[in-house]
Structure 1
Amino acid sequence: MDSAASQKSIIALDGWLQTPAGVYVRAWEQACLDELTADIFGYNAVQIGLPQIDALAANRMPNKWQAATRASSLDQLAVSAAGKQIAVALDFAELPFASQSLDLVVLPHVLEFAAEPHQVLREVERVLIPEGQVIICGFNPASLWGLRQGIGRIARSPYLPVAGEFISLPRMKDWLKLLNLGVTRSHFGCYAPPCRSTKWLDRFAFMEQSGQRWWPYLGAVYMVHAIKRVKGMTIIGPAWKKSATAPKAVPATNRE
C-alpha cells in the first residue's frame, strides 16, 4: 500500500465511523482518551488523524493541534470534531515538527492504515521530548470483530474498512520497545458482537462490564499508552539542603 492509498483508506475509515458501530467505537475511545490525557502535562500536544474524536479535549496543555492527512477533503480540513481549526495537513511518515518538540502525540487508528507504520512510529519517537508520551488506538484482531473481519474478507462482506492491517497489542508493544517507547498502560473496550444496527449494539451493552471482567483482552478496540525513555538519562529531583549536623559531644573523660 503506497502513501496515497493509505491516506485514502483512512478517509474510508472516516465514513465507517458514521455507522452505528463507528459511533459505538468513538464513544468508548473518547471516554478513554479523556481519562488518559487529563493528567498529562507539558506545553505541546498533537492529535494526528481522526478529527471525529477530540483526543485532547480533557488535556490542559497550552498548545494543542489536530493534524489531518493531505488526502482529506476540504470539509474535513476545515473543522475538527470539537469545532477547532485543523492546524496542518501532513504525510504521517514525515511529521513537520522539530525533533524533541512535542510532549504528547495521539495516534487514533493511524498505524493500521499507514503504508509504513514503522516509519510513522520512528517519526513520533523523533518529535517527542525525553519522557514525552504517545497514545495509540487500534482495532484488536484477537476479538469477535477481528474474526468477523477475517470471514468478511473471504465472503467479500467486511465489517471494518478492508484497507486496514490490524496490529495485535503484543506486536505493537514489540514495535514500541524497539524504539525505547515503554508501555505504561493498555486498555481494551467495545465487547459487543459485530452488529450493524444501534438496536442490537444497545442490546449487548451488558457485555461491556462482563468483558472487562471475564475476557479483558478480547475487546474490539485497544488503547496503549507509552513514554519515551532515553538511555543514560536520570530524572533528578530537587536538591534539598541538609541542615548542618551539630558537632558530636566529646566525652568528659577525653577533654583536656
Structure 2
Amino acid sequence: MKPAKTNREIIAPENWSELPMGDWLAMEIQHKLDEWCQFMFGYHLLKLGPLSSQLSCSTSTIRHQCALGTEGASLGMIADVGELPIRSGSVDACLLAHTLDFSNDPHQILREVERVLTPDGWIIISGFNPYSLVGLGKLLPHLRRRLPWSAQMFSPERVLDWLHLLGFEVVHLEGFAYSALSRRSRIHCWRENTARRCGYRFASTYMLAARKRTLPLTRIREVAWLKRPVMVGGMARLKNQTRTQR
C-alpha cells in the first residue's frame, strides 16, 4: 500500500464542471447533504476546499457557514487546509468534498479537522474509490495527468481506519456512481439503480458521515465510607499472640 503523503504535483479542480460528469456528481452529493445536514446542530460549519465551497448546507440549523481553501471564487477564508487558522474545539461540522483525494497530506488534514471540531462534532467526506471503474483508469499512463485520475483516491476502508484512529464514530457510508464517469449514457439511471444493491465497495464515489467521540477524563469521586479504615483496633487479636499468652 502506497503512503498517503506524497510530494508529487496533484492537479486539483477548482470547479465541479472540470470533472467528468461533475455537475451530476455535485447534484448527487448535494442530495445526500440535504438529508444529513438536518442532523447537524451548533454555531459554526466549515467547508474545506473549492469543491466543498460550492455545495449548500442550507438544511442544517447552523447559520454561520464558511468556506476555506487556498484558491477559489466562493471562499470566505484563504488558508492552507492542512494548517487551519481556527481555535481548537470551536467548529461543529466540517465538509470535505473530495478534499482528501486532491491533497498531498490527507493525514494532516484529518488531524486538523479533529482538532478544531467540538466533541460530537460532525465530519462529512466524499471521495473517489480506487477499486472501481474510475480507479482502473489510473493504470493508464495517459490518464494520470487528467481529472479525476490525477487524484490519489483512497478506499473507503482506508479512510475508515484513519477516522477510527482519531476517535471518530462512522454513522453512515454509501456509494454511488458505478460507471467510469466518462460520459452519461442512456442506461445510466438503470445501471445506478441496479448496482446500488452491491453496496459501496465497487462504487466510483463514496460518501460517509462520522462524529467525533471524546471520552471525558473526569476524576471519580471517592465515596465517604471508603475513607473509613477497614479494621479498628481491638476488634481482633493475632493467633500466635493468643497461643503465647496461654
TM-score between the two structures when normalised by the length of structure 2: 0.78
Whole-angstrom distance in 2 between the partners of 1:52 and 1:126: 21
Which residue of the partner structure matches residue 157 of structure 1?
143
Q: 1:88 aligns with which of 68, 77, 82?
A: 77
- 3-state secondary structure, aligned to 2:208: strand
Q: Deviations over 1:212-249 (max 9, x none)?
A: 11354321110111111112369xxxxxxxxxxxxxxx
* Backbone CA RMSD of aligned residues: 2.3
**Which residue of structure 2 aligns with residue 60 of structure 1?**
61
Q: What amino acid is aligned across from residue 138 of structure 2 in structure 1?
A: G
Equivalence for 1:122: 111
Contact 2:138/2:149 (CA < 8 Å) preserved in 1?
no
3-state SS in 2 of match to 1:176: helix
Q: Is the 8 A contact 2:47 2:94 kept in 1?
A: yes
What CA distance in whole angstroms lies between the structure 1 residues aligned with 2:194 and 2:217? 42
Measured after TM superposition, the shift of residue 116 of structure 1 is 1.1
Aligned partners of 1:52 and 1:127: how far apart in 2? 18
1:230 is aligned to 2:218: no
Question: Conserved in 1, the CA contact under 8 Å of 2:40 and 2:60?
Answer: yes
Residues 140 and 169 of structure 1 are in contact (CA less than 8 Å); yes or no, is this contact kept in structure 2?
A: yes
Aligned residue number for residue 23 of structure 2:
23
Unaligned runs of 5+ in 2: 1-5, 219-246
Length-normalised TM-score, structure 1:
0.75
Structure showing greater radius of gyration is: 2
Aligned-pair identity in percent equals: 32
Q: Which residue of 1 aligns with 2:182?
A: 196
Of Structure 1 and Structure 2, the greater helix share is in: 1
Match of 1:167 among 154, 158, 167: 154
d(CA) in 2 for partners of 1:227 and 1:215?
22
Partner in structure 2 of residue 105 of structure 1: 94
> Structure 1 residues 170 and 15 mapped into 2: Cα distance closer, same or farther (>3 Å)?
same
Q: In 2, Cα distance between the equivalents of 1:207 and 1:39?
A: 30
- Find the residue that maps to 1:232 and give its secondary structure: coil
Please list every run of 5 or more consecutive structure 1 residues that lacks an aligned counterpart in the other structure: 81-85, 235-256
Secondary structure of 1:211's counterpart equals helix
Count of aligned positions: 211
SS of the residue corresponding to residue 112 of structure 1 reads coil
